[in-house]
Amino acid sequence: MKKKTKSGQIVLHSVFIILTLMYLLPFLLVVSISFSSEAAILKEGFSLIPRDFTLDAYKMVFKNSEQIINSYRTTIIFSVVATALSLLVMGLMAYAMARPNYMFNRFLSLYVLFTMFFNGGMIPTYILIMKTLHLGDTIWVYIWPTLVGAYNLMILRTNYRSLPYELIEAAKMDGANELFICFRVAMPLTLPAFASVGFMYFVQKWNVWNASLLYIKKRTDLYSLQYLLQRILNDASYMQEAIDQGLIDATNVVIPSESLRYALAMVAAGPVLVIFPLFQKYFAKGLTIGGVKG
Applying the rule CB under 8 A, the residues between 240 and 269 that interact with another protein are 258, 261-262, 265, 268-269
Find the shortest distance in angstroms from Cβ 229 to another protein. 5
Over the window 30 to 69, marking each residue x when it contacts another protein by CB under 8 A and - when it does not, the resulting string is x--x-------xx--xxxx---------------------
Q: How far apart are CA 46 and CA 200, in angstroms?
A: 32
Nearer of residues 30 and 243 to another protein, judged by Cβ: 30
Q: Binding string to another protein for residues 115 to 144, with x set by CB under 8 A, is what?
A: x-xxxxxxxxxxxx--x-x----------x
Crossing angle for the helix pair 66-98 and 150-161, to the nearest 10 degrees: 40
Residue 77: C-alpha distances to residues 139, 203, 235, 280 (Å): 9, 13, 26, 24
Nearer to another protein (CB atom), residue 87 or residue 248: 87
Shortest CB 5 distance to another protein, Å: 8
Q: Which of 3, 175, 177, 251 binds another protein (CB under 8 A)?
A: 177
Contacts to another protein from residues 64-93, by CB under 8 A: 89-90, 92-93
- Strand spans (E) along the chain: none
Length of the chain equals 294
20 by DSSP, 3-state: which?
helix
Between 26 and 246, name the residue whose CB sits nearer to another protein. Answer: 26
Q: Which residues, numbered 200-229, are part of the site for another protein (CB under 8 A)?
A: 203, 206-210, 214, 226-227, 229
163 binds another protein (CB under 8 A): no
Closest CA to 81 of 146, 143, 136, 137: 143
Residue 251 Cα distances to 39, 243, 255, angstroms: 17, 10, 9
Residue whose CB is less far from another protein, 246 or 291: 291
Q: Among 10, 26, 217, 241, indicate the residue that binds another protein (CB under 8 A).
A: 26
10 Å CB burial of residue 214 (0-12, 13-18, 19+) is middle
Q: How far is the CB of 251 from another protein (least distance, A)?
A: 25
Q: How far apart are CA 81 and CA 40, in angstroms?
A: 42
